[in-house]
Structure 1
Amino acid sequence: MIKKALLAEFQHEAENTKKLLSMIPNDALSYRPQPHLWSVGEFAAHIAEIYNWYQVTFNKDSFEMSTYTYDKGDISKTTNILKKLENNIKIAQQAIENFNESEYMNDWSMTINGVNSFPPMPKAQVIRGFLFNHLYHHRGELIAHLRATGNQVPSLYGPNYEESQAIM
């Protein structure tokens, strides 16, 4: 039952993520509002990479971040990021589909050099917070970056600004 709900949300939100990333023009990829913030391309690559974390979250009880190799890939073109996204979404969906529902309440932890980054928590909570909500948070940041560059963004949960103005 939980798996069915998570899978439905995952599929809906994966489509929203594809819709958002596909609207990034190549000339916006290097934009960053301040020197210390990620560029549009770095945000997009990070969002695509979050889907790569599903396997380890669903299939292991702990995640040692210091051994993880972050691969943002070639972020010089939106099509490169979209290819990575598509591949990672397939792998992530398989992780959800193959997961044993009886393990949703098993504790999961993330460590950095052996030190817990947060207290262990049930996998169901980690899936919602570390995977799903984390992704939504970064999509919001990416939308703000795209708006700052004068680019349009898709409607994800109802009309976007441009669509709402056309309705009025």
Structure 2
Amino acid sequence: MITFIEAFKKELEDEAKETRRMLKQVPTDKNDWAPHPKSMKLGVLAIHLAEIPDMIEIALLKYKWDFAEMEWDPKEFKTSEELLGYFDSSLKNAFNALEKSSDDSLMNEWVMCSGEQICLKTTKWEAVRHAFGQNAHHRAQLGVYLRLLDIPIPGPYGPSADETESMVN
């Protein structure tokens, strides 16, 4: 039987392949595009998706993530290679954190907050699961953006309509 840490490594590896396929589709000339005034810009969404593995590192190696103690300064990228390089760096950090962790540590408390305001109080195990949920959510969000821009979307768990179409033709 595998450990939770081993299962997280496998899941991260599998999901990273699909996230990478989606990030490769991001048109760097449309970084300032957004489908709605209340929506994130495409470039900000893409870099946020690329940095989600950092949440795994923070959840495993720290006891809290306090937004009041940091300033979120989204990275900018001009090329697909820069975006994918940032994603690779974030993944490396997550895998390193998993290597340093044990199943026993997963039950320790973890807090996401902004100063005194608690956003999420949970176990490290649940925080890692939350990061995987965030990955799926923002990857799907990116898929909508790409669809609206008429850019083919790769299917993460089977062929997308774009891939099915090319299989039939």
What TM-score does the superposition give when structure 2 sets the normalisation length? Answer: 0.90
User: Percent sequence identity over matched residues?
Assistant: 25
Partner Cα separation in structure 2 for residue 41 and residue 78 of structure 1: 11
Partner Cα separation in structure 2 for residue 143 and residue 62 of structure 1: 31
Equivalence for 1:105 = 107
Equivalence for 1:20 = 22
Structure 2: runs of 5 or more not aligned: none
Structure 2 residue 167 is matched with structure 1 residue 150: no
Equivalence for 1:128 = 129
Partner Cα separation in structure 1 for residue 117 and residue 33 of structure 2: 35
Partner Cα separation in structure 1 for residue 66 and residue 29 of structure 2: 36
CA contact (8 A) 1:110 1:116 kept: yes
Q: Could you tell me how far 1:140 is from its partner in structure 2?
A: 0.5
Partner Cα separation in structure 1 for residue 80 and residue 43 of structure 2: 8
CA contact (8 A) 1:18 1:82 kept: yes
Equivalence for 1:39 = 41
Task: State the Cα deviation string for residues 83-118 of structure 1 (Å, max 9, x = none).
Answer: 111111111111112112111111111121122113
Paired residue total: 166
Q: Give the partner amino acid of 2:128.
A: I
Partner Cα separation in structure 1 for residue 27 and residue 119 of structure 2: 36
Q: Could you tell me how far 1:72 is from its partner in structure 2?
A: 1.8
In structure 1, the residue corresponding to 2:140 is in which secondary structure? helix
Structure 1: runs of 5 or more not aligned: none
CA contact (8 A) 2:154 2:163 kept: no
Equivalence for 2:6 = 4
Partner Cα separation in structure 2 for residue 36 and residue 146 of structure 1: 17
CA contact (8 A) 1:64 1:114 kept: no
Partner Cα separation in structure 2 for residue 51 and residue 72 of structure 1: 15
Equivalence for 1:139 = 139
Q: Could you tell me how far 1:15 is from its partner in structure 2?
A: 1.2
